[in-house]
Structure 1
């Protein structure tokens, strides 16, 4: 299991380090061009390909979607209350503290812990989180929410199309799936290198600026895990699904939260620093599950 985790996570950290080096030495990550490419092309292709590659019936998929939506709602309410209590702007910080990195970290971790049969379940949960990034996340950071904008959102349209194709048992031609796979493959590397670049260019004046990122790095995985456990008490899943759900909800702050914070002028530096710190906490949770 440790070897599988290493195989999954070493590439992740290697890309972050590469991004940090390039961010210090080049201007590759300046501006919004790369973020725009990821959000308008890479993520829709990745999500559609992932949904169509799953082997799952629509009923099982619907139950996982529903319980994940409930968890997001409860987590958002709890987090909004905590942020008001400590005097932080709710709209700026709520998306990053609610949304876990269920994609480029959660899916590999689930694979390492539970084997290839967990991938479809993990991807369904990840897909719902991705929709929430582009609804709850953008709604908070942009200070506005528009159904019209949601209807034009690439990731949302990709997931709706995927669900319809799964429900009708339709299959896209092989060349189309290969094209989607190639386009989606650009997403995770660019996001991770952008994160590394941001971390490398952080300007911190002292320990005081580290305090809240450290606190948030514990909050995101641990409160996410506790909230998922409470939801499962009211909406039990079978043991295998429940374990995957708990692990996904305990993942660190999502790289997408950083990408959107950059795009909408949110607290990008704080989020960038919180991500690697929260990875350590989530890894500890994963190790506990592996011993259970």
Structure 2
């Protein structure tokens, strides 16, 4: 059990720590080039290869997309209600509290806990969350959203392509699959190091009130996990799909929420402080899954 836990989490924490050190000492993660490489090449390749490699038909993928969309809708409604009752601005806090970090945290965690067979499932869920960032996230913070930007999103296009190939039962030739595998393999390590660099470089000096970020850091993973569990009672999935879904819904506040909050003058300092705090809660949940799942 200890060995299983170590094998699952030490690689993740090591790459996050390495990213934090490199983010402080070097300029490797400065600018948009590396992030653009992962977004436009790595994640789409990983998604397409994983979808085509996993034992899932178009209807199975549709069920996973459907339950993720349902979770997003209900999570947004519950969160909006709680923010209203607390007297907090819904548009400012809703995206951060709804969207989990299913990308550079959720995908590696699922891979570590459940193996390569979970990658396709994790990436499908993450792609739905990315679409929500471009709709619910930007829509709340800016008052508008761009369909054109969503349709240009690499993971979204890869998800559509994968669904088409599954529906038509078309299998790309071996060299194409090997190429996709090689391109997708760069994604998980870079995403983890980017996460460490982002956390290491957050400016937290402006955060005066610790109570609100603490509550947010507990609500995001635990609230998301609880709602996912309730949905699974009425929307059953396979054992692997259910475990991946639960883990993805229990991930911490997304770094993208911080980026969007800075861009659209939201409560960026509170969200910045919530990211590492919610990360600890999510890692605790991952530990429990590693020990008992």
* TM bracket (short chain): 0.7 to 0.9
Instruction: Write the distance in 1 (CA, Å) between the matches of 2:28 and 2:222.
Output: 35
Moved more, 29-38 or 152-161: 29-38
Structure 1 residue 116: deviation in Å?
5.9
Instruction: Write the distance in 2 (CA, Å) between the matches of 1:23 and 1:126.
Output: 24
Pairing 1:94–2:94 present: yes
Instruction: Write the distance in 2 (CA, Å) between the matches of 1:228 and 1:208.
Output: 32
**1:217–1:281 CA contact under 8 A, matched in 2:** yes
- SS of 1:149's equivalent in the other structure is helix
**2:104–2:191 CA contact under 8 A, matched in 1:** no
Report the equivalent of 2:153: 153
What is the TM-score when the length of structure 1 is the normalising length?
0.82
Query: Structure 1 pair 36/82, CA: closer, same or farther in 2 (3 Å)?
Result: farther
Instruction: Write the distance in 2 (CA, Å) between the matches of 1:259 and 1:175.
Output: 37
**1:95–1:137 CA contact under 8 A, matched in 2:** yes
Structure 1 residue 214: deviation in Å?
2.1
**2:103–2:123 CA contact under 8 A, matched in 1:** yes
Pairing 1:278–2:249 present: no
Instruction: Write the distance in 2 (CA, Å) between the matches of 1:163 and 1:278.
Output: 33
Listed as ranges, the gaps of 5+ residues in structure 1 are none
Listed as ranges, the gaps of 5+ residues in structure 2 are none
Q: Aligned pairs, how many?
A: 292
Query: Structure 1 pair 267/185, CA: closer, same or farther in 2 (3 Å)?
Result: farther
1:233-292 Cα distance to aligned partner (Å, 9 max, x none): 433445564444333322222344445556666555544432332232223334444437
Instruction: Write the distance in 2 (CA, Å) between the matches of 1:207 and 1:258.
Output: 14
- SS of 2:210's equivalent in the other structure is helix
Give the alignment's Cα RMSD to 1 decimal.
3.1
Query: Structure 1 pair 26/104, CA: closer, same or farther in 2 (3 Å)?
Result: closer
Query: Structure 1 pair 200/108, CA: closer, same or farther in 2 (3 Å)?
Result: closer
What is the TM-score when the length of structure 2 is the normalising length?
0.82
